[in-house]
């Protein structure tokens, strides 16, 4: 199995999950180790996998690695919305050109591909409070990040239909768990609080996300690999919709801080108000059930992980906050 982006948050957890629950796979990781990649996330399995440092846009390298694999799981991407608003160019390159490069290699060598994508491709469910995305919802991305992910999904669909590539796509909601970069909402707040600094809420904090534990996401990817129908997309989400303010209040409670002790900072431009996914297809067709339906329990475990693993997140913290200071958030 070739795992692109396997030194990032979800990819590294996927590698751990695969070795633990699907030991029949021999795993090779391709990762460029950008600011978001960290080989130390793979340290616990270092002797059991092969790690290749390289760019998913490097067609020769990708061709060679795909040829030597039976299955490709494609996580590599630029993943952070705020960064995409600041400088979209690496997003177009990695997310669009990188997926094209992977698709061409799996086409040449007739390999099974699973493409990992996001619910953000469907855009904003808005303020009316109703409705959920389904697999047939219209693509309507808001940010440069989600637009490049939408483009990558459409490339996959076209390669399935026109070239018979054996691929599936998943569109998952917001993940949380160990090894998530400190730029993202949950780890940014948890590490701020651990350092005795205020949590930072964009705008009013009314934006709603469907928080999903990374292990539940990765279990779904394995189900899709094993039993998903070629050419199909599957939505993944825990059902646990919460506003950012609610998640923050829960974190403050779990970390014994007074409620409401956070700073409001200027909002993200174009900020989507609500995402929510209808995961009936994944549940009924493939029998997926989240192991962490309870956000409180999942977050408590995650807070404990960040408390115990400062060695992992501390080096990136100041750099990340410096970037947010520049963005005014
Ligand atoms: P991440 O930013 O933590 O990790 C991305 C990884 O890709 C890093 O290890 C990075 O070094 C690597 N990478 C970036 N550019 C590369 C390139 N050109 N060549 C090779 N490797 C490169 O991201 P993540 O949160 O783990 O997300 C992984 C995937 O899951 C992405 O495709 C993202 O769109 C998708 N996704 C993320 C979430 C979420 O909540 N984080 C939810 C749904 C879907
Ligand atoms: O929905 C899936 C997507 O979830 C993935 O495709 C993306 O890769 C992933 O980054 C995530 O995107 P979001 O923009 O939703 O996640 P982020 O962690 O950046 O922010 C979550 C919410 O919290 C969002 O409404 C913005 C807000 N926020 C974020 C930060 C970093 C704050 O209020 N304060 C913050 O400091």
How high is the pLDDT of residue 160? 98
Average pLDDT over every residue of 94-122:
99
0.80 cut: is pTM over it?
yes
Q: What is the DSSP letter of 49?
A: S
- Which residues are known to be catalytic? 119-120, 145
Partner residues linked to 53 by β-bridges: 31
Residue nearest to atom 15 of ligand 1 (CA): 77
Query: Quick check: 326 pLDDT over 80?
Result: yes
> What fold, for 2-175+212-236?
Rossmann fold (3.40.50)
What are the residue ranges spanned by the domains of the chain?
2-175+212-236
Smallest Cα–Cα separation from 324: which of 12, 82, 10? 82
Measuring CA to CA, how many Å separate 237 from each of 103, 132, 267, 289?
A: 26, 11, 25, 10
Residue with tokens 């996001």: 118
Whether complex ipTM tops 0.95: yes
Token pair recorded at residue 169: 């796509």
Residue with tokens 């997003």: 91
How high is the pLDDT of residue 85? 98
Average pLDDT over every residue of 157-184:
98
Say how many Å lie between the CA of residue 24 and the centre of ligand 1: 25
Smallest Cα–Cα separation from 234: which of 131, 166, 161, 153? 153
Q: Which band of pLDDT confidence, cut at 50, 70 and 90, is reported for residue 318?
A: very high
- In our burial notation (b when 16+ CB lie closer than 10 A, e otherwise), range 3-38 reads bbbbbbbbbbbbbbbbbeeeeebebbbbbbebebbb
How high is the pLDDT of residue 5? 99
Percent with pLDDT over 90 in the chain: 97
Query: Quick check: 129 pLDDT over 90?
Result: no
3-class SS at 31?
strand
Say how many Å lie between the CA of residue 189 and the centre of ligand 2: 12
State whether the beta carbon of 173 lies less than 6 angstroms from ligand 2. yes
How high is the pLDDT of residue 208? 96
pLDDT tens-digit series, residues 190-231? 999 999 999 999 999 999 999 999 999 999 999 999 999 999
How high is the pLDDT of residue 259? 86
Residue 123 near residue 146 (C-beta atoms within 8 A)? yes
DSSP alpha helices (H): ranges in 22-143? 59-67, 81-86, 89-91, 98-109
- Helices vs strands, H then E, count in the chain: 12, 13
pLDDT tens-digit series, residues 282-315? 999 999 999 999 999 999 999 999 999 999 999 9
Partner residues linked to 56 by β-bridges: none
Smallest Cα–Cα separation from 144: which of 196, 91, 105? 91
State whether the beta carbon of 121 lies less than 6 angstroms from ligand 2. no
Going by DSSP bridges, is the β-strand pair 199-202/233-236 parallel, antiparallel, or unpaired? unpaired
């Amino acid at each position: 199995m070739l795992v692109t982006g396997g030194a990032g948050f979800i990819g590294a957890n996927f590698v751990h999950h695969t070795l633990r629950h699907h030991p029949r796979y021999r795993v090779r990781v391709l990762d460029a180790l950008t600011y978001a990649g960290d080989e130390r996330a793979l340290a616990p399995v270092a002797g059991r996998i092969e790690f290749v440092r390289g760019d998913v846009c490097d067609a020769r390298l990708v061709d060679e690695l795909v040829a030597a694999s039976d299955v490709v799981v494609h996580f590599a991407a630029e993943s952070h919305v705020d960064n995409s608003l600041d400088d979209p160019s690496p997003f177009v390159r990695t997310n669009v050109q990188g997926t094209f490069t992977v698709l061409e290699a799996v086409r040449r060598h007739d390999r099974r591909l699973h493409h990992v994508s996001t619910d953000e491709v469907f855009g904003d469910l808005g303020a009316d409070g109703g409705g959920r995305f389904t697999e047939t919802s219209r693509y309507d991305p808001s940010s440069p990040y989600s637009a490049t992910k939408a483009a990558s999904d459409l490339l996959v669909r076209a390669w399935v239909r026109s070239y018979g590539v054996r691929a599936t796509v998943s569109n998952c909601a917001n993940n949380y768990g160990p090894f998530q970069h400190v730029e993202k909402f949950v780890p940014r707040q948890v590490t701020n609080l651990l350092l005795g600094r205020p949590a930072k809420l964009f705008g009013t904090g009314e934006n709603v996300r469907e928080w999903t534990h990374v292990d539940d996401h990765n279990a779904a990817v394995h189900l899709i690999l094993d039993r998903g129908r070629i050419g199909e997309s599957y939505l993944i989400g825990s059902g646990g919709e919460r506003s950012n303010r609610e998640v923050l209040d829960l974190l403050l409670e779990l970390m014994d801080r007074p409620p409401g002790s956070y700073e409001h900072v200027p909002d993200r431009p174009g900020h989507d108000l609500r995402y929510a996914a209808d995961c009936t297809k994944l549940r009924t067709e493939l029998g997926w059930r989240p192991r962490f339906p309870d956000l409180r329990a999942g977050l408590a475990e995650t807070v404990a992980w960040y408390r115990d693993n400062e060695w992992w997140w501390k080096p990136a913290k100041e750099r990340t906050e410096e970037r947010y200071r520049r963005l005014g958030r």
